[in-house]
Amino acid sequence: MEKLVIRGGKKLSGTVPVSGAKNAALPLMCTPLLTADPVTLTNLPRLADINTLTDLLNHLGVAVTIEGGKGGRLSGRSMTFNAASINDTVAPYDIVRKMRASILVLGPLVARAGEAIVSLPGGCAIGNRPIDFHLLALEALGARIDLEDGYVRASAPTGLTGGLINFPVPSVGATENALMAAVLAKGTTTIENAAREPEIIDLAKCLNSMGAKITGAGHETITIEGVDRLHGTTHKVMPDRIEAGSYAVAALMTGGDVILEGAEAADMRAMLTKITEAGGIVEEKPNGVRVAANGPIKGFNIVTQPFPGFPTDMQAQFMALATIADGASVITEAIFENRFMHVPELCRLGADITVTGSSATIRGVGGLKSAPVMATDLRASMGLALAGLVAEGETSVNRLYHLDRGYERLEEKLRALGADIDRVPG
């Protein structure tokens, strides 16, 4: 098992290319299940989660061709998916347990094949994330749902029918599954209280380019007019706003000056607002976003919320920032109830953090001290790496398999900005 070794104290400066978004790429990779024609996705990041979903698609009968990026620093990988025939409608436990996003094959399989049998999902242990809303959406479209032996069986042998889907609270994954299921349903589907994340908009753009009729993506109400069939397309994955936000925090924490090449400021407003509030400089550029330090870091308050609010996927990174702020910060986690598992690890580095219920009070300290730490989930691993960048001495971050699920070439990108960081055997 590998680990990151970080020798802190280096100011980061330069330009970092932002990869394609993991959270957009995964649902996009499920769209080929809806058509017999090839679908090509470009700007795909090289991540463990991408590989896991590729394995699952292969199991279902999807042929996948992979090409390296040919368009320079921001091109990523290009992958062509051909689901001319679906050989299996079972998503087995051995694959699904590795990644929660595997549940996104449920809607497309039912829509096209009339049946899906999907293992209950795994992924990061950051709290209770039931799939009730996914099932609610499919039932609203006429699917029969049965749960047995750890599997979800959804069936609609005569096809799905448009209907009203009203989510009690916005859910990104359930909205994505509902979109993919509804595009081939007979009639009109309305999704109320839909998630509004940029990744939802990216998915709708791809589906519309395949012949779907979706309006309202990015708003609370989405309308889908079902079509008889979809065709192939080529679609570029949007830039990763969470990766970009993580490097923005790295620039501010280290007193640096970094251009996030390819980042879309419009997708990052809540994060960039907090960067400014903490004392950083934010400048929108033609090729991305510049973030630079501007004196001491100031304390700030955050409440995680669905988009356009502050993203829960950036909570751990901003907590790392708060540990060295001048003053106190309060971070309230309103999305997941078990997403403060990185707190004890940050405290091992000298952070002063008190957790009360769903809120953490972080009192800035003069500096962090190195120690071995252990990642508990994907975003926590990045928070610990950020802390290591400013900790005195040599910090080792263990359990890199979490990090590799969501950050492409992390140590290479940080090293190019001036960090003293290596990946070594654990």
Mean pLDDT, residues 371-379 taken together: 91
Q: Which of 132, 115, 233, 139 is nearest to 189 (CA)?
A: 139
DSSP 140-176: HTT-EEEEETTEEEEE-TT--B--EEE-SS--HHHHH
Residue 374 belongs to what domain range? 2-15+239-425
Residue partners of 148: CB distance under 8 A and separation at least 6: none
User: Known catalytic residue: 30?
Assistant: no
Range ranked top by mean pLDDT from 7-16, 119-128, 327-336: 7-16
Q: Is 116 left (phi over 0), alpha (psi -120 to 50) or beta?
A: beta
Residue 286, Cα to own-chain centre: how many angstroms?
25
The reply to whether 186 sits in an annotated binding site is no
356 in the same domain as 318? yes
**Model confidence at 69, in pLDDT bands (50, 70, 90)?**
low
Task: Name the phi and psi angles at 285, rounded to 5.
Answer: -120, 160
The reply to whether 399 sits in an annotated binding site is no
pLDDT of residue 125: 42
244 in the same domain as 231? no
206 in the same domain as 256? no
325 in the same domain as 251? yes
CATH code assigned at 256: 3.65.10.10
**113 lies in some domain:** yes
**Model confidence at 129, in pLDDT bands (50, 70, 90)?**
very low
pLDDT of residue 25: 98
The reply to whether 128 sits in an annotated binding site is no
DSSP 33-100: GG-SS-EEEEEE---HHHHHHHHHHHHHT-EEEEE---SSTT--EEEEEE-SS----EE-HHHHTT-G
Q: Which residue in 30, 124, 206, 347 is the catalytic one?
A: 124
370 in the same domain as 251? yes
**Model confidence at 178, in pLDDT bands (50, 70, 90)?**
very high
The reply to whether 37 sits in an annotated binding site is no
**77 lies in some domain:** yes
Distance, in Å, from the CA atom of 177 to the CA atom of 280, rounded to the nearest integer, reads 38
Distance, in Å, from the CA atom of 239 to the CA atom of 245, rounded to the nearest integer, reads 11
- What is the per-residue pLDDT across 313-364, written as a single tens digit (0 to 9) for each? 999 999 999 999 999 999 999 987 778 989 999 999 999 999 999 999 999 9
The reply to whether 313 sits in an annotated binding site is yes
For the beta carbon of residue 355, count every other beta carbon within 10 angstroms. 14
The domain boundary, picked from 202, 236, 270, lies at 236
pLDDT of residue 249: 98
pLDDT at 123 over 70: no
- What is the per-residue pLDDT across 198-222, written as a single tens digit (0 to 9) for each? 999 999 999 999 999 999 999 999 9
**119 lies in some domain:** yes
163 in the same domain as 262? no
The domain boundary, picked from 236, 256, 274, lies at 236
173 in the same domain as 128? yes
Query: Any bridge partners for residue 288, and if so which?
Result: 261, 285
Task: Name the phi and psi angles at 265, rounded to 5.
Answer: -60, -35
**20 lies in some domain:** no
Angle between helices 22-30 and 48-60 (to 10 degrees): 0
91 in the same domain as 210? yes
CA-based end-to-end distance of the chain: 5
**Model confidence at 98, in pLDDT bands (50, 70, 90)?**
confident
Least confident segment among 12-21, 70-79, 280-289, 313-322: 70-79
393 in the same domain as 281? yes
Instruction: With beta carbons less than 8 A apart as the criterion, state whether 227 and 213 touch.
Output: yes
pLDDT of residue 312: 95
283 in the same domain as 171? no
Distance, in Å, from the CA atom of 380 to the CA atom of 39, rounded to the nearest integer, reads 34
172 in the same domain as 203? yes
Give how many domains the chain has, as a whole number: 2
List the Cα angle 47/48/49 in 5-degree steps: 90
Instruction: With beta carbons less than 8 A apart as the criterion, state whether 230 and 204 touch.
Output: no
Mean pLDDT, residues 295-308 taken together: 97
The domain boundary, picked from 177, 212, 236, lies at 236
279 in the same domain as 294? yes
Element at 325 (helix H, strand E): none
How do the residues of the chain divide into helix, strand and coil, expressed in percent and rounded to 5? 35, 30, 40
